[in-house]
Amino acid sequence: MKSKDDGTNVLKEILKGALIVSCQPVPGGAMDDSQYVVGFGLAALSAGAAGLRIESARYVAAVRAATDAPIIGLIKRDLDDSPVRITPFLYDVTALADAGADIIAFDATDRVRPVTIEALAQAVRNAGKLSMADCSCVEDARRALAAGVDFVGTTMSGYTGGPEPVDPDINLIGELRKLTPFIIAEGRIRTTEQAQAAARAGATCVVVGSAITRTEHVTTWFRDALNEVYAPAPVVLAVDLGGTKTMASLVQAGEVLDTSVFATDRSGSPESWLASIVDAVAAWKGRYTAVGIAVTGAVRGGHWRAMNTATLDIKAEFPLEQRAAELLGVPVVAANDAQAAAWGEFKASSDRSDLVFMTVSTGLGGGIVSEGRLLRGVAGHFGQMSNATGEKVEGQICGPWIAVEAKRLGHAVEPKEVFAAAVSGDEWAVGIIDGVARRFARLCCDIQLAIDPSRIVIGGGVGLATGFLDRVRAEIAAIGPSAIPELHAATLGPRAGIVGVADLAITKQNRKSTMKTMF
């Protein structure tokens, strides 16, 4: 009989550069049966897979009876008192070893768990098997390696909180490579290109699961792709009504098809602003099936009111969704402009981490996306917060203040020209813009302390003015390291609100139609 060391080394050698196919049927699905698991396993091995990843002692035993190929075994459990699902107990390790697994995988995340990683690693060693630690991050891997595991896997990356990512975590492989060469890449690897990227990043071997053995998942990917062609996304009339300008666009699947921009008549009223919109979009009648309106001011339950009448003077609470639907003849969804823009930026990026959006424009608005959800109500109205002297912070940061200040210094010009003068080094203008940048930088640092987003995305006429963000970044650096926010210019520029509110409009429409089919 070979010593354990020989077996270990031979197995590690076999796995170098291998494709491992995970044969885990959708629980309770049509393929959740031994004959399919064995069939998938043998088919994969016949086509060049070097090993299999199999869930449950029953399926490991069934596959072991059919092949000598290496098997990574695991047992999944849904526990009431722990989020750990993969091989949580010592008796699971024994059951998998008895069933014939060569490598035993277990969750190695730092969460409430019934059995420590050290004890699991020891149990696998006692059984004479190799261990695979399913990690979510570098720290998990560091701890697992200290506990003596043989392989670290990227399996748990993206599954310990927040929305599920779409792409595999290739970066993590590179990070793990600094700790060990024994890395098994696993998780969301769907394409041959992604498998190659994992190998190039330094993985010992690559596990592919759903893309090969979960018929239901692969079918959905194709169904969704075809739906985009056969059932194209609806066209939405999206409007962004700000204190200075109003933008109306036709938007389909995040793309802007047509746009019209006109000045907001600041002496008007909700009825007159809606009338101007109806007028501006008259030629588009029949081209859209839903309407989204993003407005400066707070929106709750479809009703609209000003938070700061200096930004736009909305005299009383106004039934915006209802009145706009009457005028336009299709369902309307209304939202605050900065919240809509936060949503637009979130949807336009593949980054699913928390973000804050801020518009520096006529007013200073904001929106927060946390754990994949847009916070509504007055959340994000940072401009309404008070400074040390009790004034609203937006009072000394936005476009109108820049114009008033310039005039006070003898330059009756628009904020755009103040920026141009600052760029040419005119002292009076540099003073104004630096002051705005300093106050805004402090606000961004405070927001970082309160919400800790991964990024703060900036929009608005002032926010996107040439050189503004760089000045704010310099002020943040001067404030120091307590909470350094990462600032980005809005990738959608002035269209963030339009794109965001269009998505909110169709999401609500879809929700309504699904509810109809449920009852």
Residues near ligand BMX, by CB under 6 A: 242-243, 296-298, 306-308, 311-312, 336-338, 359, 361-365, 381, 383, 394
The CA distance from 193 to 191, in Å, is 5
Residue linked to tokens 């009383």: 316
Three-class DSSP category at 294: strand
Q: In sequence order, what are the residues at sequence separation of 6 or more whose Cβ sits closer than 8 angstroms to the Cβ of residue 78?
A: 85
Q: In sequence order, what are the residues at sequence separation of 6 or more whose Cβ sits closer than 8 angstroms to the Cβ of residue 325?
A: 291, 331, 332
The residue (of 41 and 297) whose beta carbon lies closer to ligand BMX is 297
Q: In sequence order, what are the residues at sequence separation of 6 or more whose Cβ sits closer than 8 angstroms to the Cβ of residue 364?
A: 358, 382, 383, 393, 394, 397, 398, 443
The CA distance from 366 to 451, in Å, is 12
432 binds, among ligand ADP, ligand BMX, none (CB under 5 to 8 A by kind): none
Task: Return the residue of 151, 346, 419, 440 that touches ligand ADP, per CB under 6 A.
Answer: 419
Q: Are strands 130-134 and 151-153 parallel, antiparallel or unpaired?
A: parallel
One symbol per residue from 174 to 213: x for binding ligand ADP (CB under 6 A), - otherwise; what is it?
----------------------------------------
Q: What's the token pair of residue 101?
A: 């697994």
- Candidate ranges 81-89, 370-378, 459-467, 478-486; the one touching ligand ADP (CB under 6 A): 459-467
Q: In sequence order, what are the residues at sequence separation of 6 or more whose Cβ sits closer than 8 angstroms to the Cβ of residue 247?
A: 239, 240, 259, 260, 261, 494, 495, 497, 498
Shortest distance in whole angstroms from residue 490 CB to ligand BMX: 12
Backbone φ, ψ for residue 151 (5° rounding): -130, 145
Task: Return the residue of 416, 455, 473, 488 that touches ligand ADP, per CB under 6 A.
Answer: 416
Shortest distance in whole angstroms from residue 374 CB to ligand ADP: 19
One symbol per residue from 462 to 481: x for binding ligand ADP (CB under 6 A), - otherwise; what is it?
x--x----------------
306 binds, among ligand BMX, ligand ADP, none (CB under 5 to 8 A by kind): ligand BMX
Shortest distance in whole angstroms from residue 362 CB to ligand ADP: 3
Q: Is 467 left (phi over 0), alpha (psi -120 to 50) or beta?
A: left
- Candidate ranges 103-111, 139-147, 209-217, 242-250; the one touching ligand ADP (CB under 6 A): 242-250
- Candidate ranges 77-85, 94-102, 423-431, 460-468; the one touching ligand ADP (CB under 6 A): 460-468
Shortest distance in whole angstroms from residue 466 CB to ligand ADP: 7
Q: Are strands 19-23 and 51-55 parallel, antiparallel or unpaired?
A: parallel
Q: Which of residues 280-339 bind ligand ADP (CB under 6 A)?
A: none
One symbol per residue from 361 to 390: x for binding ligand ADP (CB under 6 A), - otherwise; what is it?
xx----------------------------
Terminal-to-terminal C-alpha distance of the chain: 65
The residue (of 131 and 361) whose beta carbon lies closer to ligand BMX is 361
Q: What's the token pair of residue 437?
A: 């940048």
DSSP characters for 335-363? EEHHHHHHHHHHHHSS--S-EEEEEESSS
338 binds, among ligand BMX, ligand ADP, none (CB under 5 to 8 A by kind): ligand BMX
250 binds, among ligand ADP, ligand BMX, none (CB under 5 to 8 A by kind): none
| Site for ligand ADP contains 244 (CB under 6 A) | yes
Task: Return the residue of 153, 297, 344, 461 that touches ligand ADP, per CB under 6 A.
Answer: 461
Closest Cα to residue 316, out of 336, 301, 297, 292? 297
Name the burial class of residue 127, with classes exposed (0-12), middle (13-18) and buried (19+) by CB atoms within 10 angstroms of its CB: middle
- Candidate ranges 60-68, 155-163, 443-451, 454-462; the one touching ligand ADP (CB under 6 A): 454-462
Q: What's the token pair of residue 337?
A: 């402009």
The residue (of 40 and 382) whose beta carbon lies closer to ligand ADP is 382
Shortest distance in whole angstroms from residue 307 CB to ligand BMX: 3
The CA distance from 394 to 380, in Å, is 13
The residue (of 18 and 358) whose beta carbon lies closer to ligand BMX is 358
Shortest distance in whole angstroms from residue 300 CB to ligand BMX: 12
DSSP characters for 230-282? HSPPPEEEEEEE-SSEEEEEEEETTEEEEEEEEE--TT--HHHHHHHHHHHTG
73 binds, among ligand ADP, ligand BMX, none (CB under 5 to 8 A by kind): none
The CA distance from 463 to 132, in Å, is 49
Closest-approach residue to ligand ADP (CB):
399
Chain residues binding ligand ADP by CB under 6 A are 242-245, 264, 361-362, 399-400, 414-416, 419, 460-462, 465
